[in-house]
Structure 1
Amino acid sequence: MSANGHSHHIPPRSGAAFELKAGEELIVIDPEGGQVADLLAVSLADIREMLSSGRTLDYAERIYLTTGDKLYSNRSNVMLEIVEDTVGRHDFLLTPCSEATFRLCYDNEPPHQGCHGNLAAALAPWGVTDDAIPVAFNCFMNVPVDGETGRFKVLPPLSKAGDHITFRAEMDLVIGLTACSAPASNGGSFKPIHYRIVPKDEGGTASDG
């Protein structure tokens, strides 16, 4: 259940999971532009240790994370570090879209299990259960927040075709990754997400070859 070398394709409105070893780099690529990818990291050694939005934002003291920022677990261990980012706007506030999202927020959209369901299905072989899925790091998601009222909007991503964000693993992980299913998050259309794993000490490149 590992994936290395060439670029891997996640079809629109679906998800994948794979192992990422400490020191390896994960490059998440938006091949067509304007598409969100929900990313969840789980410790390979103990699946109860997962990516934590609350602890990460607390330690960063800001909500927009980019190159140089670290992503922490619920046990305050560094799981990932962002080592390259061509977009600079991602979301770590909003929970993965789910069946309930489509039922409560989209009057005219057919039901869909969303990123929550896709993450749960992809991570199930490692023993991660549906109820354990926390807030994911939403690569390329554009959620501006009003500084006075605290109200936020979900706007189309700023990412263009070929934009990417690169993470370095600081521990052995299981990664869940989706091509987001929510219309508002992706400007009303659904596109694929690509990813590459770069072995330790080889250095990263976002080439989609």
Structure 2
Amino acid sequence: MKLKLPDHRPPRDAAQRRAVAPVICYPVDGLPVPNIALYRAARKTARKITEVLVPPRDAKVFQVPAGHYFRINSVEGPQVGDLNLWNLHDLHERFYSGKTRALHGTHLSVSDRIWSSHPYLRPIATIVEDTLDWYGFDEFGGSVHDVIGTRCDPYTHNLLVGGHYHHCCHSNLTRALADYLDCPACDAEPHIHDVLNVFMCTGFTRDTGQYFMKASPVRPGDYLEFFAEIDLLGALSTCPGGDCSSEHSSDTATCHPLMIELFAPTENALRDWSQPPVNGYDRTHGV
């Protein structure tokens, strides 16, 4: 894509203005620190209680009780997944991708937390293991497990190329939630929200600032594991782009299933842990 030439000449102090040092918007020194050592110690004696296989180009819903663990596994080949999370008892409280990104950065790994929407704004899950933590950021600025992409959806697909493609992650998640709630798709759709792109390798181009994707480094045996801070309802879509090496809304890309495993801690393994309360702001908004 050709860059649009600027309409205005730079001022004499342009270099000085550009040289101003950045300031972190949300310093996180005051955030409660997750007790990763406790979570990992409890995980050692946890037992597997169930598993859910998510077929290619589809989505499945799953429940995770507070204090339990869920693991998203690569089982057959490189595949990315789009994750939604809600409070099991109140779908209005859901994963807030934008605030999670603002607090932890564009890509997540161990000790980063999934934060919920306003007015709740609390950690609802914590990442405890990530077999791709070795990847870091590559020479293109790419990394894995992003909270910058919004999920592939049929509306953008229709806008850019036309047609009615029904296996975008947005539609996959909508179908799965509608089936779980036993309601029409139009009633489930408003609950679908921006995602954690599990295993997806993404970034922004340095010249145009555009969102890019590249082949995921995930391989069978890799996984991303979470600790549920509250009772969770989750939905995971296996992206129709497979490893997203070429396109993300496709009937021709090679796709694979993903496996979700749930683990229950032993009694008293988490005796020093408690669920995080909802945000303490009084919600008066100065009125």
TM-score when normalising by structure 1: 0.84
Aligned residue pairs, count: 198
2:158 is paired with a residue whose SS is helix
* Paired residue type of 2:157: F
Return closer, same or farther for 1:139/1:183 CA change in 2, 3 Å cut-off. closer
Structure 2 residue 221 is matched with structure 1 residue 162 = yes
Matched with 1:91 is 146
Matched with 1:153 is 212
Structure 2 residue 252 is matched with structure 1 residue 192 = no
Return closer, same or farther for 1:168/1:50 CA change in 2, 3 Å cut-off. same
1:177 is paired with a residue whose SS is strand
2:213 is paired with a residue whose SS is coil
Matched with 2:127 is 82
Corresponding residue to 1:182 among 234, 241, 256: 241
Structure 2 residue 156 is matched with structure 1 residue 113 = no
* Paired residue type of 1:151: Q
Work out the CA distance in 2 between the residues paired with 1:104 and 1:23: 42
Cα drift, residue 105 of structure 1: 4.4
Deviates more, 1:88-97 or 1:123-132: 123-132
Work out the CA distance in 2 between the residues paired with 1:39 and 1:186: 19
Work out the CA distance in 1 between the residues paired with 2:121 and 2:238: 27
* Paired residue type of 1:26: F
Q: Which has the larger radius of gyration?
A: 2
Return closer, same or farther for 1:130/1:154 CA change in 2, 3 Å cut-off. same
Work out the CA distance in 2 between the residues paired with 1:59 and 1:96: 20
Cα drift, residue 6 of structure 1: 4.5
Structure 1: segments with no counterpart, 5+ residues:
204-209
Structure 2: segments with no counterpart, 5+ residues:
1-47, 134-143, 247-252, 270-287
Cα drift, residue 149 of structure 1: 4.3
Deviates more, 1:143-152 or 1:117-126: 143-152
Work out the CA distance in 2 between the residues paired with 1:157 and 1:118: 20
User: CA RMSD of the aligned region, Å?
Assistant: 2.4
Identity %: 29
